[in-house]
Amino acid sequence: MRTAVRRTLALVIAIGAVVGIAAPAAAQKHELTVLAGLHLGGQFEDPATGHYRPADEGLTLGLVLGFPLGNDRILEVVWTHEQVHVPAPPDGGSDVDLRLDTLGVGGTYEWGDGKLRPFVSGTVGLTLLSPDAAGYDLELLLSGTLGGGVKVPLSPKAFLRLEGRGVGMLATGSAAGICGGGSCVLGFSGAGIGQLELLAGLGFSF
């Protein structure tokens, strides 16, 4: 698991370096935003019964690196981490705990000349699904987000970011769910996982 974390961090740094080089030198200031909020929704299928098992709401943490492209557009590299708890069904079974680490590339479009800066956002990327329990396989999912929000200036170099977005994660290859040792404890509902995220963050320009 530590190896997977190191590889994820290395990938974040590499993408950030490439995007930083590609951004125009005369562009507006770059941005770094620390995010926190709630993820809602997401359900799985119980392979034993075929019934759906919804996940509890939980905490989402994230970082956003922004590279302005001009004309109110910002190219963003976004990393989020969340713990997902799927409670046991009423008729028996066990809880399942998961970690979702997502790395996405996308951007925002802002408008408005006042103190509030509304924006729309979107990303595409990959999500690493890691079961907490030993003996289960890691799964790599395709992911995408679409949302919107507002930035509120706090000072010339700091701002508050409020955002809501929908998240979709799709299974890749033959991935069927949370599996290991020839059996699955949870299956994906349909082709993947859908969530709603409500986020707030403190951003800095530099």
For residue 187, what are its two tokens?
């299956």
**Beta pairing partners, 105:** 77, 124
Architecture of domain 2-205: Beta Barrel (2.40)
SS3 label, residue 56:
coil
- Give pLDDT, residue 171: 82
- Give pLDDT, residue 69: 92
158-171 vs 52-54, strand pairing mode:
unpaired
- Give pLDDT, residue 142: 93
Regions in the chain scoring below 70 on pLDDT: 1-28, 173-176, 189-191
- Give pLDDT, residue 191: 65
Closest CA to 177 of 189, 160, 194, 165: 189
Q: What is the DSSP string of 168-196?
A: EEEE-TT--EEEETTEEEEEEBTTEEEEE
- Give pLDDT, residue 188: 77
**Beta pairing partners, 186:** 178
- Give pLDDT, residue 23: 42
Residue 164: partners with Cβ closer than 8 Å, 6 or more residues away: 147, 148, 149, 196, 197, 198, 199
Residue 56 gets the label, from left (phi > 0), alpha (psi -120 to 50) or beta, of: beta
Residue 161 to residues 45, 52, 165, 201: CA-CA distances in angstroms? 35, 34, 13, 5
Nearest 10 degrees: Cα torsion 90, 53, 101, 37 = -80
The whole model's pTM is what?
Answer: 0.80
